[in-house]
Chains A and B, each alone.
Chain A
């Protein structure tokens, strides 16, 4: 079983719709959860972090965490073509532990 799992996609959504990206993780001791966006040929950039159960909103982005289900998701409202990228879920167990990435979900926002 992979430590962090994501559907590789591509996930195709029309412009203006809500994109829903999902991630599950295997380590119940995980404490910190991050979503990174990576455009083709570029480096990953942090877009959201979440540490406690529930929702966290930042602009058009909402991260949702459910530790009991070992599930974290990212919602992108009013999707734009510029949101087309690979979204990487990353999970960390503790201060000195490594940040483990999922394989990423490729999002395509169509006109």
Chain B
């Protein structure tokens, strides 16, 4: 199926641990994103990569490090996890060269719980 897929779906870990979330899209899009959705459902962009190049880097702690090995993959590594990192992390993709009209396609989300 054509989609944006991310793993794992659920991630429960303790404070101080390091974890990674992986994302892959087979839609042929050139741009990928990480969004964080907090408990109040506010969806906030963290990073965006266009053809493996970082183009959006919001004010995010440097414990968060994205990595895009190719334009179909975007991973998120989080060091020294904190309680406040608990949220749902969504990966998304779009085709930038179609202009600002290109909508985002979201993955199913990774629910991260830090205890």
B2 at the interface (CB under 8 A from A): no
Q: How many chain-B residues does the 8 Å CB contact rule pick out?
A: 25
Given contacts A34-B103, A95-B100, A103-B40, is CB(A43)–CB(B108) below 8 Å? yes
Q: Annotate B90-115 by CB proximity to A: 1 below 8 A, 0 otherwise.
A: 10000011011101111111000000
Stretch at the interface among B12-20, B48-56, B63-71, B76-84: B48-56
Given contacts A88-B43, A103-B41, A103-B42, is CB(A96)–CB(B106) below 8 Å? no
CA distance A103 to B55 in the complex (A): 24
**Shortest CB–CB separation between residue B110 and chain A, in angstroms?**
11
**Shortest CB–CB separation between residue A28 and chain B, in angstroms?**
15
CA distance A94 to B98 in the complex (A): 11
**Shortest CB–CB separation between residue A42 and chain B, in angstroms?**
7
Contacts of A96 in B (CB 8 A): 50, 55, 96
CA distance A104 to B37 in the complex (A): 11
Q: How many chain-A residues does the 8 Å CB contact rule pick out?
A: 26
Q: Which chain B residue lies CB-closest to A44?
A: B106
- 24 A-B residue pairings within 8 Å (CB atoms): A32-B100, A34-B103, A38-B41, A42-B108, A43-B90, A43-B106, A43-B107, A44-B43, A46-B104, A88-B43, A92-B100, A93-B100, A95-B97, A96-B50, A96-B55, A97-B100, A98-B45, A99-B33, A99-B104, A101-B42, A103-B40, A103-B41, A103-B42, A104-B42
Q: A46-B103, A99-B104 are in contact. List 17 more A-B contacts (CB 8 A).
A: A32-B101, A42-B108, A43-B106, A44-B90, A45-B106, A49-B103, A88-B43, A94-B100, A95-B97, A95-B99, A96-B50, A98-B45, A99-B45, A100-B45, A101-B43, A101-B44, A103-B40
